[in-house]
Structure 1
Amino acid sequence: MEEYKKRIVKTIQYIDNHIDSDLSLEKVSEVSAYSPFHFHRIFKLVTGETLQSYIIRKKIEKSALHLALYKNMEIKDIYWNLGFSNHSVFCKTFKKHYGVPPTEFRRSAPEKFHRILQTHRKNGQIDTVFSQYICNIENLLNWTNMNLKIEVKEMPEMNLASVMSLGIANVEPSFNVLVDWAIKKNLFPRENVKMIAVYHDSCKITPLDKVRIHACMLLDEKLKQQEGEVFAETLDAGKYIIGSGEVTLDDFEQCWVSLFLWMNENKYTTRRTFPYEIYHSNFKEHPEGKMIVDFCIPIH
C-alpha cells in the first residue's frame, strides 16, 4: 500500500508542478514507474479521469486562478503560458468548465477565489487532494482481496478456434458465429467447454470501435484449416498472473487494473504476447449477471 501511495502522490505532484510544461503520457508514466499502458488504466481508475482530462482541468483551474488574481495580466499571456494553441480553443475549454467565458469570469471572480483552489498542508501530512486518490486505491485493493484470487502459474499451450471482432460491439456477435460453427462440428455444447477472449489491442489506447478482440474456444486439437470466419490460433505456454473470481461485466475494468497494480508491486513485467480472459460460466445464466472468469496477464 505504501508503494502505491508514493507513486500516486509523486505523479500527481509532478503534474501539478509541471502543468505549464508538455505532459505526455510517456513522460508522466515514466515518473510513476508504470508502463504507459498500465499507467493509463491505473490513473483513470484512481482519479476518475483520463490523464488528458486531468491535465486540461488543472490548466483551466490555473488559468482561473490567474484571471482572479492578476487583473492586469493579458488573457493571451495566460492561455499561451499554459499551452493553449489559440484564443478560441482556450475560451471554448474554459466555458465548458466554468459555464462562462474567461472575460466574464474575471469580472465576477470573488477576491478569495484562489483559496478555493489552494491545497492546504497541515503538519506535513499528505495533501487532502491526494487523500481521495489514495482512498480509491485502498478501496480497489480491498475489493480485489474480496473478489479475486491472484496467483502466478505456468499455463500450457492452448489451441483455439477463433473469430476476429473489430470493435467492442462486435464481440458478442463473434462469439455467436463461433458457437454456431461449434454446434455444427458437434463441439458445443459439451462438458467443461472453455470460451476465451484474446485482447490484441488495448481498449485504453485503440478506439473502442476499432479494438481487435478474438472470440475463441479451446480445442483438444489444433484446427487444421480456416472454416469461414473461424481460424486457428495458438496461445503460447508460459508464466501468467491469473486473477480468478466471480464478477459482473461491469467489474472487468477493476479486475484488469487490480492485476496490473499487483504485477508492478510484485516486480513482474509483461511478455510480448496477448492477455486473455477464460470464461468458466455464462453471465446470462446467473440471476445477478455474474460469471466465473480467469484474467490472464503474460509475464516474465
Structure 2
Amino acid sequence: MEEHKKRIIKAIQYIDSHLHEDLSLEKIAEVGMYSSFHFHRIFKLITGETLQNYIIRKKIEKSAFYLSVKKDIEIKEIYLDLGFSNHSVFSKTFKKHYGIAPSSFRNSAPEFFHRVLQKASKNGQVNTVFSQYICHIDNLLNWTDMNLKVGVKELPEMNLASVMSLGIINVEPSFNVLIEWAKKRQLFPRDNVKMISVYHDSCKVTPLDKVRIHSCMLLDERLKEQNEVVFSETIEKGKCIVGSGELTLDDFEKCWVSLFLWMNEHHYSMRKAFPFEIYHTNFKEHPEGKMIVDFCIPVY
C-alpha cells in the first residue's frame, strides 16, 4: 500500500500543477506508472473519490478561492485559466458543488469574513450557507492589532524538503516522517531549524479531510536526493504580506482571515503562489502551547 501511496502522491502533484490542461486518465496513469485500468481503481481506494471527481473538485475549489481574493480578475479569465470551455459549463459545475452561482459567491464572500459550509437539505440538494464566525469586523481588527505585527516584506527564495499530507489530521504525521528522514541525514536537530507549512488548498473552500498541505523543512540549498515521499519544493523569492506573532493553534484561523482582510484593505493582489506558515518555535515546548509564527501571503 505504501508504494501505491507514493505513486498516487506523484499523480496528485501532477494534477494540481496542470489544472489548466486536458487531464486525461491515460496521461495521469502514466505519471503514476499504472495502467489506466488499475490506476482508476487504486486512486479511488486511496483518495476516497474518483479521478474525475477529484479533478473537477480541485478546479472548482481553486476558482472559489480566486473569486474570493482576486477581485481584479474577471470570472471569464478564471474559468478559462482552469480549462472550462465556457461560462455555462463553469457556472453549472460551480453551482452543483457550492449551491450558488459564481457571481453570487463572489458577492457573498467579499473578504473571507464567512466560512463556506455545505449541508444537505431535506430534498438532498446541497445548499451553501455563509456562516459568520467573527461577529464584528472591528473585533477582528482590534485582535489583529493586539496579536500580530503585519507588514509587507521581500522574502528570499526558500529551498524546502517536503512531505505531502491530505487532510488536516495528517499534517503532524507528515512532519514526523520529515523529521525522521532529516535525522538520518543529520539535518535535524540543528540550530535555528525552520519548519514550514505550505497550503496548496484553502481550508475555506476545501473540506478539511481533503485539503492538501505540505509539511516542510527549510534547507540551506536545494534538495538533490529525493523520493516520492520526501521531495524538493521551492518558494520563489518575492513580496509577501507577513503577519508575525506568538499564538496558539486555535488562533491560526483568525490570523489568516485577518491577513486576507488586510490584503484587500491595502489593495494588494495575491500572486499565483501558495500561502505558507514559518514556525520559529515549537508549541509543544511552550507551557501555554504557544509558538512564534510568520503567516505569509505572496502578493504583488
CA RMSD of aligned residues (A): 2.7
CA contact (8 A) 1:43 1:51 kept: no
2:284 counterpart letter in structure 1: K
Map 1:21-170 to 2 at 5 A. Answer: 24=100, 26-31=102-107, 34=110, 39=111, 41-44=112-115, 50=116, 89=123, 136-170=136-170
1:206-221 residue pairs with structure 2 within 5 A?
206-221=206-221
Q: Which residue of 2 aligns with 1:63?
A: none
User: Post-superposition shift, 1:89?
Assistant: 2.8
Match for 1:204: what amino acid? Answer: K
Task: Identify if the C-alpha distance between structure 1 residues 146 and 194 changes in structure 2 by more than 3 Å, giving closer, same or farther.
Answer: same
Partner residue, 1:265: 265
Please state how far the C-alpha of 1:205 moved relative to its aligned partner: 1.6
Name whichever structure is richer in helix by fraction. Answer: 1
User: Is the contact between residue 25 and residue 51 of structure 1 (CA under 8 Å) also seen in structure 2?
Assistant: no
In the alignment, the residues of structure 2 paired with residue 275 and residue 149 of structure 1 have an alpha-carbon distance, to the nearest angstrom, of: 17
**Shift of residue 228, structure 1, vs aligned partner:** 5.8
Identical aligned pairs, as a percentage?
68
Cα separation, partners in 2 of 1:31 and 1:233, compared to 1, 3 Å: same
**SS of residue paired to 2:139:** helix
* Secondary structure class of the residue paired with 1:178: helix
Q: CA deviation at 1:225?
A: 2.7
Which one has a larger percent strand, Structure 1 or Structure 2?
Answer: 2
The reply to whether residue 251 of structure 1 matches residue 251 of structure 2 is yes
Kept in 1, the 8 Å contact 2:150–2:242? The answer is yes
Secondary structure of residue in 2 paired with 1:281:
coil
Measured after TM superposition, the shift of residue 256 of structure 1 is 0.1
Q: Distance in 2 between matches of 1:168 and 1:30?
A: 26
What stretches of structure 1 of length at least 5 have no aligned partner?
Answer: 1-21, 45-49, 57-83, 94-131
1:52 deviation in Å? 5.9
Q: Equivalents in 2 of 1:184, 1:240: separation in Å?
A: 33
SS at match of 1:89: coil
Greater C-alpha radius of gyration: 1
Q: 1:278 to 1:33 in 2, by over 3 A?
A: same
> For residue 16 of structure 1, what is the aligned residue in structure 2?
none
In the aligned structure 2, how far is the partner of 1:293 from the partner of 1:234? 19
SS at match of 2:114: helix
SS, match of residue 246 in structure 2: strand
Other-structure match for 2:73: none
Give the AA of the match of 2:123: V
1:224 match: secondary structure: coil
Alpha-carbon separation, structure 1, partners of 2:109 and 2:205: 19
Work out the CA distance in 2 between the residues paired with 1:278 and 1:271: 18
Compute the displacement of 1:253 (Å).
Answer: 0.3
SS in 1 for 2:113: helix
Per the alignment, residue 233 of structure 1 pairs with: 233
Q: Give 1:32 shift.
A: 5.7
The aligned amino acid for 1:30 is: R
CA contact (8 A) 1:162 1:216 kept: yes
**Separation in structure 2 between the aligned mates of residue 177 and residue 133 of structure 1, nearest angstrom:** 34
Shift of 1:201: 0.9
For 1:209, the aligned partner's letter is D
**TM-score when scaled to structure 1?**
0.61
State the match for 2:200 in structure 1.
200
Write the deviation string for residues 65-87 of structure 1: whole angstroms up to 9, x where unpaired.
xxxxxxxxxxxxxxxxxxx8xxx
* Paired positions, count: 198
Question: Does 2:296 align with 1:296?
Answer: yes
Provide, for residues 178-235 of structure 1, a one-character-per-residue CA deviation record: whole Å limited to 9, x for no partner.
Answer: 1111111111111110000001111122221111100000000111131462111111
Cα drift, residue 258 of structure 1: 0.2
- Say whether the 8 Å CA contact 1:276–1:296 is kept in structure 2: yes
Distance 1:181 1:30 in 2: 43
Query: If the length of structure 2 is used for normalisation, what is the TM-score?
Result: 0.61
